[in-house]
Chains A and B, each alone.
Chain A
Amino acid sequence: DTEVTQTPKHLVMGMTNKKSLKCEQHMGHRAMYWYKQKAKKPPELMFVYSYEKLSINESVPSRFSPECPNSSLLNLHLHALQPEDSALYLCASSIRLAEYNEQFFGPGTRLTVL
């Protein structure tokens, strides 16, 4: 299995809702990432987990809450989002957290906040 899967594919939520994005990989990778990508822009790093521990938090607002319950799963919990949070949310993984390792990306969750 050489892919990263993300669910749901699309999500529409109101500003008072609570929802979660899910990411899964079975490649034995020990680093996992969340990115936010706005239209026609590059991905922006949000969080990095290494060996299930949060290693990097790029000063993301607290309405985004990551969770890494085990080495294969990564969740992003969403609460009280704003319309400007609408974007494509990409999950990625790499063998280890190292500068020479490429990242494997999932197809993303297209989030719309109303």
Chain B
Amino acid sequence: AQSVTQLDSQVPVFEEAPVELRCNYSSSVSVYLFWYVQYPNQGLQLLLKYLSGSTLVKGINGFEAEFNKSQTSFHLRKPSVHISDTAEYFCAVNTGGFKTIFGAGTRLFVKA
């Protein structure tokens, strides 16, 4: 069975500092990986996705993620965060069952 673990429930960081949000998945078959962001009182929005090919994926708002098959990880990074990046971030995986499995979420809190 597939599962997704987001290792940090909350990540506080100062503005303009780099950030990494960690995500590990478990699956014995090929996976499709996604990062979604949810701003307060809004729905989810896709940041980026990995389907195949290059393991470094670039997304919107300056975010990128690296797929590491040997470590079954898909960590999200941004070199310099802004106050407006404060939100909930969800890692998600789909291995072909038509059901996307979401991680528990990581709350990114950017401080001035």
A, B co-complexed: yes
Chain B residues whose CB sits within 8 angstroms of the CB of A97 once the complex forms? 98
- Where the two chains meet, the residues of B that have a C-beta atom closer than 8 Å to any C-beta of A are 32, 34, 36, 41-46, 49, 51, 90, 94-100, 102-105, 107
Nearest CB on A from B66, distance (A):
18
How many contacting A-B pairs (Cβ < 8 A)? 54
Q: Is the CB of A103 within 8 A of B100?
A: yes
Interface residues of A in 50-67 (CB under 8 A from B): 55-56
Nearest CB on B from A85, distance (A):
19
**Residue of A41, A43, A99, A105 touching B45 (CB-CB under 8 A):** A105
Query: What is the predominant secondary structure among interface residues of chain A facing chain B?
Result: loop
Q: Is the CB of B32 within 8 A of A42?
A: no
**Residue of A41, A48, A106, A107 touching B104 (CB-CB under 8 A):** A41
Q: Is the CB of B94 within 8 A of A99?
A: yes
Q: Is the CB of A55 within 8 A of B43?
A: no
Q: When chains A and B are docked, how far (Å) is the Cα of A45 from the Cα of B107?
A: 21
- Where the two chains meet, the residues of A that have a C-beta atom closer than 8 Å to any C-beta of B are 4, 40-43, 45, 48, 55-56, 90, 92, 97-100, 102-108, 110
Chain A residues whose CB sits within 8 angstroms of the CB of B46 once the complex forms? 102-104
Query: What is the predominant secondary structure among interface residues of chain B facing chain A?
Result: loop
Q: When chains A and B are docked, how far (Å) is the Cα of A45 from the Cα of B43?
A: 14
Nearest CB on B from A2, distance (A):
11
Chain B residues whose CB sits within 8 angstroms of the CB of A92 once the complex forms? 43-44
Chain B residues whose CB sits within 8 angstroms of the CB of A56 once the complex forms? 98-99
Q: A106-B43, A107-B42 are in contact. Are A100 and B105 (CB under 8 A)?
A: no
Chain B residues whose CB sits within 8 angstroms of the CB of A108 once the complex forms? 42-43
Chain A residues whose CB sits within 8 angstroms of the CB of B94 once the complex forms? 99-100
Q: Is the CB of B51 within 8 A of A42?
A: no
Chain B residues whose CB sits within 8 angstroms of the CB of A41 once the complex forms? 104-105
Q: Is the CB of B103 within 8 A of A42?
A: yes
Q: When chains A and B are docked, how far (Å) is the Cα of A4 from the Cα of B94?
A: 22
User: In the complex, what residue of chain A is closest to B6 when comparing beta carbons?
Assistant: A42
Nearest CB on A from B78, distance (A):
19
Chain B residues whose CB sits within 8 angstroms of the CB of A105 once the complex forms? 36, 43-45
